[in-house]
Structure formats: structure tokens, C-alpha cells
């Protein structure tokens, strides 16, 4: 099933920042993301959002370091409707334009939906960071002990897409 309305993809800009930050806080309960033991302020991240009129349907944020794009977050209000795929395709195009060699993304061991989503779109599992979420809780104590489907939230899993 695909959207029956006009979804528009827009680059994050300053005039949209307040709405984008509010969206991030609704999805993640914080603007702080902890990845690889590093605290990242998503209010400073580049990205795109999908919208219909003024309603945000989804968001992808990223950063580029040393010709590698790292996806920091990807959220969609309605799964399996093409929003996440459209946003990911935008990121892939940006990575190609920026002459990145790869795109990487970190998810957690409980996020089976993300693991399926990325693998179906050409990403490969490359690393597991054992007990990384336990270490992340030292920077962000609000990270729960139990994740999706009652799975203990413990490890980070890295996937990558070669350009």
C-alpha cells in the first residue's frame, strides 16, 4: 500500500527546525542520541523530512565524516507506506553526491524492524558492539533496559551500504 496523497520531501532548514525538534522529541523523548559512546545533539543534525501540508510524516538525520555518511535517525509515523524508503533514498543520493564511500547506520539488538528494513534495501550487517547500550546508559540514563518485543536492550548493531 502506498500513500494516496502528495508526500513532499524537504531538507531541514532553520524555519522548520522547531517543528523538526518537536517531532524528534515525540519519537525519541529527547534530542540526545547516544551512538558509539558519543552523545549527539539531533537538533544540529542535517536531514530531510517527509510531509503532507504541514504534517510531518517522517524524518531522516545524518552526518558525514571522512567520506562516510552515518544515518543518525530514521522515523516514520506510518510504517510500510514508503516514507522511510523515500527518506533513505534521499540520503543515498546525498551520499553519492558527496562522494561518500559508504553509508552506515547503528541500531539496537531489539530493533528487528530496522534490521529487516535496512537489509531489504541493500545494507549488510558488519559489526556488533556487545553491551554498547549498557555503556550508553551512562551518558543517557533514560535508555530503557527492555526494548521492543520484551527483548533486553544491550547491543548496537552496525549495518553498511557501499556506494
- At 42-59, the pLDDT tens digits run 999 999 999 998 899 999
Domain assignment present for residue 3? The answer is no
Domain containing 90 — which CATH number?
3.40.630.30
What band does 109 get if pLDDT is binned at 50, 70 and 90?
A: very high
How many Cα neighbours within 13 Å face the side chain of 43?
A: 11
Integer distance in angstroms from the first to the last C-alpha of the chain? 29
Domain assignment present for residue 151? The answer is yes
Domain assignment present for residue 37? The answer is yes
Task: Compute the distance between CA of residue 131 and CA of residue 153 in angstroms, rounded to an integer.
Answer: 9
Domain assignment present for residue 1? The answer is no
- Contact partners, residue 91, CB within 8 Å, separation at least 6: 47, 48, 60, 62, 69, 71, 103
Domain assignment present for residue 134? The answer is yes
Range of the domain at 99: 8-162
Domain assignment present for residue 107? The answer is yes
Q: CB count, 10 Å around CB of 8?
A: 12
Domain assignment present for residue 56? The answer is yes
Q: What is the number of domains present in the chain?
A: 1
- At 26-45, the pLDDT tens digits run 988 889 999 888 999 999 99
Domain assignment present for residue 80? The answer is yes
Task: Compute the distance between CA of residue 68 and CA of residue 117 in angstroms, rounded to an integer.
Answer: 20
Amino acid at each position: 500500500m502506498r500513500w494516496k496523497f502528495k508526500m513532499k520531501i524537504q531538507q531541514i532548514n532553520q524555519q522548520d527546525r522547531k517543528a523538526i525538534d518537536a517531532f524528534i522529541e515525540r519519537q525519541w523523548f529527547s534530542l540526545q542520541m547516544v551512538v558509539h559512546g558519543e552523545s549527539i545533539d539531533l537538533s544540529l543534525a542535517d536531514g530531510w523530512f517527509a510531509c503532507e501540508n504541514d504534517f510531518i510524516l517522517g524524518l531522516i538525520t545524518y552526518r558525514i565524516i571522512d567520506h562516510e555518511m552515518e544515518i543518525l535517525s530514521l522515523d516514520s509515523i506510518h510504517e510500510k507506506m514508503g516514507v522511510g524508503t523515500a527518506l533513505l533514498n534521499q540520503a543515498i543520493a546525498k551520499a553519492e553526491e558527496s562522494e561518500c564511500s559508504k553509508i552506515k547506520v547503528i541500531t539496537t539488538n531489539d530493533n528487528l524492524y530496522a534490521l529487516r528494513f535496512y537489509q531489504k534495501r541493500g545494507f549488510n550487517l558488519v559489526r556488533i558492539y556487545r553491551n554498547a547500550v549498557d555503556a550508553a546508559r551512562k551518558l543517557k540514563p533514560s535508555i530503557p533496559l527492555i526494548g521492543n518485543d520484551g527483548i533486553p536492550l544491550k547491543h548496537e548493531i552496525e549495518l553498511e551500504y557501499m556506494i
